[in-house]
Chain A
């Protein structure tokens, strides 16, 4: 199904029930008098496409949530980026020489959010990740931050990326603004600050431009759009979860020390 036909506003009749499937997530929603019944679950097998199916009924089991929301029959389905930063773990010895830059492309699984009437926190019925990423820790064990892991996979050009309809592509440009070689070990992408755009049926995050200024210094991170990828007028699909500024000064790289040795 076309993303524009999935991520949109739906109008339900009373007692109408639909199943929304994407990735490893399945959400069944029934519109009842003055409210909604919602059942969400993760599946063993993933679906590459975005699927909607109307079914006869939703059995009111113990895992079904009841929402009493009033007269609204409008259900809004929106994609979102994960609620924590994601960490790329380099196992391919990526090195960037002094003064040089490198562009990397990552696939980031989305979450699916359901709202009634209007997209705001109080109206959220359910949110479910389309692929549960593994927890990880970025930084030292006594002072780092929690994050998700997106593993070691990346693409070197945008045209090579084969993302599913439930993944967003994140383009990252890393500039080594030091006199030494930057050996990329762990890279954190604070996706809670990213915008989500739609171009040609593909979801894209903000373009990330990271300037590395040295191990002991916080680098600068700029978020924006890149015409080569986002086009002239990208369609904004979702705003960032946090309301930080676009120009962020903070740590993006972590260099591993073996914690079992001093």
Chain B
């Protein structure tokens, strides 16, 4: 029974098959090699983010070219394909508005350079390290090792805080002290805490601001500058040192309380226990 296999499995098609396999192997190998060589030569000059973009551009362009070469090798008419591409483009564009929006937003994000790979960012209520910046989204790795995928359109339309953009930061401590305390003494104690902590930068100088006369205490802000890598050490050490210094100097940090008086400020309310 003649199944007509000779139409498909003859020397010409076998030859074409092996040629395509060779083109694919050589093509994939060349693309990876070019990408590797470019990354290696530009590693010291460019940031990780730029390297990733260049590498992906080379790879995507290379694979698209490889697909076109294989299609050409299979003797498909590319002009018809390009002709249909216009119509297909409209259909795809309508169907994938969100995806295209994300791609366009991604290009704007990259061009804006408001953050890079490795930066710690806060978007809405989520914060973490920028893990990758992709065509459609960015991936953020949280501090408890979760991976969050945020579409580029959401990133570009939301307020984003880059916590590690600059090499130094200021950390503000909100401290409440009792109304009876000598504020000049409190200021001196806080200045000494900042001065004696070697991780708190001498310059820019620490700042002390008397914020408000609160309901239960006077609120003071102590702002200390530090190198961004020392965040946790500074936060914990200054916190402990403030408490120790206040304990040593007898400065009270009051808990929320309400004082009740019956119209005359200095007389306490007399309390009698009535028994039946």
Interface residue ranges, A against B (CB under 8 Å): 87, 89, 132-138, 141-144, 146, 149, 186, 256, 259-260
Q: Say yes or no: A135-B201 contact (C-beta < 8 A), given A146-B227, A260-B207.
A: yes
Identity of the chain A residue whose Cβ is nearest the Cβ of B197 in the assembled complex: A134
> Is B204's beta carbon under 8 Å from chain A?
yes
Q: Say yes or no: A142-B203 contact (C-beta < 8 A), given A132-B198, A134-B198.
A: no
- Asked whether A135 lies within 8 Å of B227 as measured between CB atoms, the reply is yes
Chain A residues near B201 (CB, 8 Å)?
Answer: 134-137
> Is B200's beta carbon under 8 Å from chain A?
yes
A135 to B200 CA separation, bound complex (whole angstroms): 6
Task: Give chain B interface residues in 129-181, CB to chain A under 8 Å.
Answer: 166-168
For the complex with contacts A137-B168, A142-B166, 11 further pairs of A-B residues with Cβ separation under 8 Å are A134-B200, A134-B202, A135-B201, A135-B202, A135-B226, A135-B227, A136-B203, A137-B225, A141-B204, A142-B167, A144-B168
A144 to B227 CA separation, bound complex (whole angstroms): 11
A141 to B200 CA separation, bound complex (whole angstroms): 14
Chain A residues near B207 (CB, 8 Å)?
Answer: 260
Chain A residues near B226 (CB, 8 Å)?
Answer: 135
The contact sample of 27 A-B pairs, CB cut-off 8 A, is A89-B203, A132-B198, A133-B198, A134-B198, A134-B200, A134-B201, A134-B202, A135-B198, A135-B199, A135-B201, A135-B202, A135-B226, A136-B201, A136-B202, A136-B203, A137-B201, A137-B203, A137-B204, A141-B166, A141-B167, A141-B204, A143-B167, A144-B167, A144-B168, A146-B227, A186-B203, A259-B204
A143 to B202 CA separation, bound complex (whole angstroms): 17
Identity of the chain B residue whose Cβ is nearest the Cβ of A254 in the assembled complex: B203
A113 to B238 CA separation, bound complex (whole angstroms): 29
Chain A residues near B200 (CB, 8 Å)?
Answer: 134-135
A-B pairs, top 7 by smallest CB distance, nearest first, are A136-B202, A149-B202, A142-B166, A136-B203, A134-B198, A137-B201, A134-B202
Contact with A141, one of B168, B198, B199 (Cβ below 8 angstroms):
B168
Chain A residues near B199 (CB, 8 Å)?
Answer: 135
Identity of the chain A residue whose Cβ is nearest the Cβ of B165 in the assembled complex: A142
Chain B residues near A256 (CB, 8 Å)?
Answer: 203
A143 to B200 CA separation, bound complex (whole angstroms): 18
Chain B residues near A259 (CB, 8 Å)?
Answer: 204
A168 to chain B, nearest CB (A): 20
A249 to chain B, nearest CB (A): 22
A87 to chain B, nearest CB (A): 8
A144 to B201 CA separation, bound complex (whole angstroms): 13
Q: Say yes or no: A146-B167 contact (C-beta < 8 A), given A137-B225, A260-B207.
A: yes
- Asked whether A89 lies within 8 Å of B166 as measured between CB atoms, the reply is no
Identity of the chain A residue whose Cβ is nearest the Cβ of B196 in the assembled complex: A134
Identity of the chain B residue whose Cβ is nearest the Cβ of A186 in the assembled complex: B203
A27 to B227 CA separation, bound complex (whole angstroms): 28
Chain B residues near A135 (CB, 8 Å)?
Answer: 198-202, 226-227
Chain A residues near B198 (CB, 8 Å)?
Answer: 132-135
Task: Give chain B interface residues in 206-255, CB to chain A under 8 Å.
Answer: 207, 225-227
Chain A residues near B167 (CB, 8 Å)?
Answer: 137, 141-144, 146
Chain A residues near B166 (CB, 8 Å)?
Answer: 141-142
A87 to B166 CA separation, bound complex (whole angstroms): 20
A149 to B201 CA separation, bound complex (whole angstroms): 9
A144 to B166 CA separation, bound complex (whole angstroms): 10
- Asked whether A149 lies within 8 Å of B203 as measured between CB atoms, the reply is yes
Most chain-B CB neighbours within 10 Å: which of A135, A138, A186?
A135
Most chain-A CB neighbours within 10 Å: which of B168, B195, B226?
B168
